[in-house]
Amino acid sequence: MNPVPDIYRILPEIILTLTGVLVMLLDASLPLRWARRPLGWVAAFGTTFALWASLWQISLPMGTGFSGTVETSAFTVFFHVLICGLVLVALLLSLDTLPEDSHHQGEFYALIVFGAVGMCLLTGAVELLLVFIALEISSIATYVLVGYRKNTARGPEAAIKYFLLGSFATAFLLYGIALIFGATGTTEIYEIARLAPTAPNHSLILAGLGLMLVGILFKVSAAPFHVWTPDVYEGAPSPVVALISTAPKAAAFALLLRVVYEMLPTLRQVWSPLLWVVAVLSMTVGNLAALRQTNVKRMLAYSSIAHAGYLLAAFAGLGNDGVMAACFYIAAYAAMNVGVFAVVTLASGYDEKLPQIDNFRGLIYRSPLLGSLLIFFLASLVGIPFTGGFFGKLTTFSTAISGGAIWLVIIGLLNSGLAAAYYLRLALAAAQRPSGENVAAFAPRVGIAVGAALLLAVAATLVLGIVPGDVLRAAEAGAHTLQAPPAESGEPGNAVELPTQP
């Protein structure tokens, strides 16, 4: 039997759930006039604890728990740590930037933490049903968070849009799961991997894969499933955007890696060209559209679409290398993107009275710290060496070239040259001398919590850019566990069997 208690396999998730419940209950029981800010600290503390627990999980032998539905391996630990870190940064960011009198602050923190449960679970799930439920948890939490600024016109609009399109995408995913279940008779990823090459209904698997890809690519906002991104990012509160542009995407990419590299590696000749096309589309569409934006958050939304494209380039890489590069790029992208949104949050405020690029003019004169950080993160997004963005691109494109996708890399790097134009526009606006009326604009203040959040993001971006060795090794270890079959754990779990299969 399995020597590791099942509960250890989902320890971070349990800690996060308990934290969420605690925050919720405290919120309900605290007197009305008390500030809700300490709840954010509770949530942040719980998340840190979960992060620690995920790190501890690396000492467990790799394997599955709960009858083969959830896995712990270097791969899951990598993503758990990443997601917990991102959630932590988002919480710290919200702590200082949510207005003191804002509504439902307690629920806000609880929702973030519960969303993290879903995301963590998504990366660990090796059972498609669990995948689906985890995805729904993280999605619903984010739908609500997006609509948190109810008194603006754009907030609810964004929430509705995200909710409708998101549900639609999840439906595609579910349909795909159903078709694959129909073809193989199981929803376990390892079982599918074993049965798929010899399954009689090959076209059913293909259709299932295609539908699943639609659902997942929507979540990572890759073109042509990206249309929701700019509206949602514009309407959602900036701390939420810092979260949803990174953590759920990281989780969705983990799922994508699992689906293509672990579940259906034999269909490489099918998904590889598909993802090639999607990668090129995402980069090009994202960058071209971003060039025309004047609103900072919309611009960054298109930039995140483009980055999804760069990331998908890693899927042209073969085996371990591809997974490793993708993992690393996700981490690098998440670090710099959460950072840039943190700065944008501070610079334009929760209510975003100053959302345009022109409003950022002279930021470095108003607040040298924020201005410099903005330029730093933008430089990382451009892919300037000695930042995380550079090594992300380097590993990604280098594996893609080894995988033979030289045109993808040429298109990608030309795109990143194009992208420099709009990042630079913002960076240079921040570096420019402020014009007369803008000098009087408010000078953002940086509190302890936000300071810690920024510090984490900067440190991560720099570490990934200067000494990426450890993270690369972790990503490689993750890649190995993703490829290898899991250690035998108890009875083979194939209780759900399709009756029609002879």
Partner 1 sequence: MNEINNSILTLILLLPLAGALLVLLVPDRAKLPNWIALFTTLATFGLTLHLPAHFDKTQTGFHFVVNLQWIEKPAIFYHLGVDGLSLWLVVLVGLLAPIGVVASWNIIRERRKVFFALFLVQQTAMLGVFLSLDLILYYGFWELSLVPMAILIAMYGRKDGPRAALKFFLFTFIPSAPLLVAILWLYAKTGSFDFATLQLWIASGALPAGALWWVALTFLFAFSVKVPVFPLHGWLADTFSEAPVALAMVVAGKLGLYSMLRFHIGLFPAQARIVAPVLVGLAVVGILYGACLALVQRDFWRLMAFAALSHLSLITLGIYGLSLTGWEGAVYQILNHGVVDGALFLLLGLLYDRYRTSEINTYGGLAAKLPRTATFFVFASLAMIGLPMLGGFVGEFMILLGTFTGVSKGWAIVATLGVILGAAYMLWLVQRLFFGPESKLATSKPPDDLHVGQLAILWPLAALMLVMGLAPMLWLSTIQTGVHPPPRPRQAVTTQYPVFLQGGCAAAMYEAPQLVATPELAAKCESMEEGQR
Partner 2 sequence: MHLILFLVFAGFCLAGAINLLLQSHPINSALSLIVVMVSLAVLYLLLGAEFLAAAQVIVYAGAIMVLFTFVIMLLNASREERTLGSHAALSVGLPAVVAILAIIATVILHTQGLGVARLSDGITSTEELSAVLFTKLLLPFEVTSVLILIAILGAVALAGHDARDPDPHENRERTGEK
Q: Which residues make up the interface to partner 2 (CB under 8 A)?
A: 10, 17, 20-21, 24-25, 27-29, 32, 65-67, 69-70, 101-104, 107-108, 110-111, 114-115, 117-118, 121, 127, 129-130, 133-134, 136-137, 140-141, 143-144, 147-148, 150-151, 156, 159-160, 163, 167, 179, 182-183, 200-201, 203-204, 206-207, 210, 493, 495-502
* Binder of residue 429, out of partner 1, partner 2, none (CB less than 5 to 8 A by kind): partner 1
Residue 255 to residue 139: CA distance in whole angstroms: 14
Choose, by CB under 8 A, the member of 174, 211, 214, 420 that binds partner 1: 420
Residue 66 to residue 43: CA distance in whole angstroms: 27
Is 431 a binding residue for partner 1 by CB under 8 A? The answer is: yes
* Binder of residue 290, out of partner 1, partner 2, none (CB less than 5 to 8 A by kind): none
* Binder of residue 160, out of partner 2, partner 1, none (CB less than 5 to 8 A by kind): partner 2
Residue 151 to residue 173: CA distance in whole angstroms: 33
Residue 200 or 368: the one with the smaller Cβ distance to partner 1 is: 368
* Binder of residue 384, out of partner 2, partner 1, none (CB less than 5 to 8 A by kind): partner 1
Is 375 a binding residue for partner 1 by CB under 8 A? The answer is: yes
Helix pair angle (105-124, 128-146), 10° resolution: 150
The count of other CB atoms within 10 Å of the CB of residue 372 is: 15
* Binder of residue 148, out of partner 2, partner 1, none (CB less than 5 to 8 A by kind): partner 2
Choose, by CB under 8 A, the member of 91, 116, 135, 472 that binds partner 1: 472
In terms of Cα–Cα distance, which of 379, 241, 214 is closest to 304? Answer: 241
- Coil vs helix vs strand at 229: helix
CB of 370 to partner 2, least distance (A): 26
- How far is the CA of 111 from the CAs of 19, 40, 98, 443, in angstroms? 11, 11, 14, 30
Ordered DSSP codes for 386-411: TSHHHHHHHHHHHHHHHTT-HHHHHH
Q: Are 297 and 241 in contact (CB under 8 A)?
A: yes
Q: Label residue 318 exposed, middle or buried (CB < 10 Å: 0-12, 13-18, 19+).
A: middle
Q: What is the CA radius of gyration of the chain?
A: 22
Residues 49-108 that bind partner 1 (CB under 8 A): none
Q: Which residues make Cβ contacts (< 8 Å) with residue 454, sequence separation at least 6?
A: 339, 342, 343, 373, 446
Is 296 a binding residue for partner 1 by CB under 8 A? The answer is: no
Is 318 a binding residue for partner 1 by CB under 8 A? The answer is: no
Residues forming the site for partner 1 (CB under 8 A): 324, 364-365, 368, 372, 375, 379, 382, 384-386, 390, 393-395, 397-398, 401-402, 406, 409-410, 413-414, 416-418, 420-421, 424-425, 427-429, 431-433, 468-469, 472-473, 476
